[in-house]
Amino acid sequence: MRARAFTLIELLVVVAVIALLTGILLPSVNRARRLAKITKAHAELRGITVAMEMYRQVNDDRIPPTRFSCSSRSAYDLPEELGPYLPSGREDGLDVVKMPDPFVPDQTYRYRAVGPAIMNESTVLEDAATLWIPDGFGADQVETGRYHNDPKTSPVLYAVWSMGPVPDSPLFDIPGRLPLPGRYWLRAGSNAGVIVHYQDAGREIHMSP
């Protein structure tokens, strides 16, 4: 007996059903992947804050400087001083922490602290590293604020962050103010925003939603 072949109509119905199921399931898969990256970012940022405390304990309570570079290194790279406590190595002749942002795989998580900065791997600038902090930060922050560069008076000592699902979002209208204004944070229901962990002046670690 000859096996019955599919008719063209039956084949089209099968294709249509597969397309329909794909359309239903794909958004769920994408949401799961996004949530997995967010969870990974929070976990790794927490690991970086732990490494910061380990560094602090053996360096007279100091934290690493912020780095800027005209060419050899991206601004706000994770500090190479954390190399003994985090995955690290060398790239382009530089010591680097190898912890790529899951949303921007070609760069590390970002780091900014108030106080000293290192420019172009050689020049140390005292009080050159700043954080823009909204007025009322930690309570009822508002749109106004200012840059802080003195660890003795700043409400926040340092911050580490991921650029989040849409790194080039127009939400980040003033990139120099990242990452502390709450309007830049990734929140439930939003498409873009940074994922940030930071330490306040009282040495407490906090994180965005």
Q: What is the pTM of this model?
A: 0.85
Q: Output the pLDDT for position 18.
A: 74
DSSP strand pairing (66-68 vs 115-119): parallel
Is 130 in contact with 145 (CB distance < 8 Å)? Answer: no
Name the strand (E) or helix (H) holding 134.
strand 131-134
pLDDT digits (tens, 9 = 90+) for 164-207: 999 999 999 998 999 999 999 999 889 999 999 999 999 999 99
Instruction: Quickly count helices (H) and strands (E) in the chain.
Output: 1, 13
* Cross-strand pairs, 146: 133
Percent of the chain with pLDDT over 70: 89
Residues 6+ apart with CB under 8 A from 13: none
Instruction: Report, as an integer, the average pLDDT of 1-22.
Output: 67
Is 111 in contact with 121 (CB distance < 8 Å)? Answer: no
